[in-house]
């Protein structure tokens, strides 16, 4: 029976590996096909002056760059804050604060992101950094929770064995706990990236830029080509960011771990 279980587990890992490989190779191809099809439509469509200005190549590139900047900076803020806090909350003497901190992070994600952005804009100011603050708060929970869960899932006997070899607590964390927890942590980072690229569209409401501007213009001026183009480009960008997250997850995971 143990042999059957091992065989099933091995088959499952192999299937997952094939699925991951298919996503890593298939997503860029799918996004390229969609973007090429949209570019052909954009070059041949009969658009009025408003639609041509909104869908001008320069404007599209500018809005896409702003959207990516919101996503990348927000992800960096989340990573450099959530992972150290998650590590601290698994150390002796700090574990009792894990529940209230996760509760606050849960509240941050449960609140509607558009409401959080508008409230921060009214309190602080309109612009890029206010959007980063709101988006980072909204995307904080997956990385924090996965860091805590990943570190708590490390086999205690391995930690004790490492300490028995004379390693300090910092060395055990760096060479044993973090590598073993890395797959779970990177899954949280990828989830945060997807949340950020989706919610960055709301940045346009507080003058932070992004592809959400196309959707706002399309709705306000009743221009379906602009509205659909904005939605399509955001969907493709989200798929590409998810793909980038998978690549990072693959690269950051130590060999021999899945």
Asked if residue 7 belongs to a domain, the reply is no
Query: In a 3-state reduction of DSSP, which class is residue 258?
Result: coil
Asked if residue 214 belongs to a domain, the reply is yes
Asked if residue 17 belongs to a domain, the reply is no
Range of 231's domain? 64-252
Asked if residue 45 belongs to a domain, the reply is no
Q: Which residues contact 212 (CB under 8 A, 6 or more apart)?
A: 67, 200, 201, 202, 203, 204, 205, 230, 234
Asked if residue 126 belongs to a domain, the reply is yes
Number of domains in the chain: 1
Q: Which residues contact 16 (CB under 8 A, 6 or more apart)?
A: 258
pLDDT for res 255: 67
Model pTM score:
0.83
Asked if residue 15 belongs to a domain, the reply is no
pLDDT for res 17: 64
pLDDT in tens, the chain (258 residues): 444 444 444 444 444 566 677 777 788 899 999 999 999 999 998 888 899 999 999 999 999 999 999 999 999 999 999 999 999 998 888 878 888 887 777 776 777 888 888 888 888 889 999 999 999 988 888 899 999 989 988 888 888 888 888 888 889 888 889 989 998 999 899 999 999 998 999 999 998 989 999 999 999 998 999 999 999 999 999 999 988 888 888 887 776 665
Angle made by CA atoms 143, 154, 140, in degrees to the nearest 5: 10
185 token code pair: 């942590």
Asked if residue 182 belongs to a domain, the reply is yes
Spatial distance between the Cα atoms of 63 and 49, rounded to a whole number of angstroms: 19
pLDDT for res 111: 75
Asked if residue 13 belongs to a domain, the reply is no
CATH number of the domain to which 73 belongs: 1.10.3720.10
């Amino acid at each position: 029976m143990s042999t059957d279980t091992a065989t099933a587990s091995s088959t499952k890992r192999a299937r997952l590996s094939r699925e991951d490989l298919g996503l890593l190779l298939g997503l860029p191809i799918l996004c390229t096909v969609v973007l090429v099809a949209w570019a052909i439509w954009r070059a041949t469509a009969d658009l009025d002056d408003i639609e041509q200005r909104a869908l001008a190549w320069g404007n599209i590139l500018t809005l896409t760059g702003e959207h990516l900047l919101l996503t990348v900076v927000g992800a960096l803020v989340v990573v450099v804050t959530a992972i150290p806090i998650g590590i601290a909350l698994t150390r002796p003497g700090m574990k009792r604060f894990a529940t209230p901190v996760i509760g606050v992070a849960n509240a941050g994600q449960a609140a509607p992101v558009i409401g959080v952005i508008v409230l921060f804009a009214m309190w602080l100011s309109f612009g890029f950094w206010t959007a980063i603050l709101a988006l980072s708060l909204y995307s904080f929970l997956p990385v924090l929770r996965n860091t805590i869960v990943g570190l708590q899932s490390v086999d205690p006997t391995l930690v004790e064995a490492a300490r028995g070899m004379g390693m300090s607590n910092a060395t055990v964390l760096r060479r044993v706990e973090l590598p073993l927890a890395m797959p779970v942590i990177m899954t949280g980072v990828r989830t945060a990236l997807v949340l950020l690229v989706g919610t960055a569209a709301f940045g346009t409401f507080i003058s932070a830029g992004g592809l959400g501007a196309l959707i706002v213009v399309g709705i306000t001026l009743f221009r379906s080509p602009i509205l659909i183009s904005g939605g399509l480009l955001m969907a493709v960008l989200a798929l590409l960011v998810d793909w980038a997250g998978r690549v990072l997850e693959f690269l950051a995971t130590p060999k021999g771990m899945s």
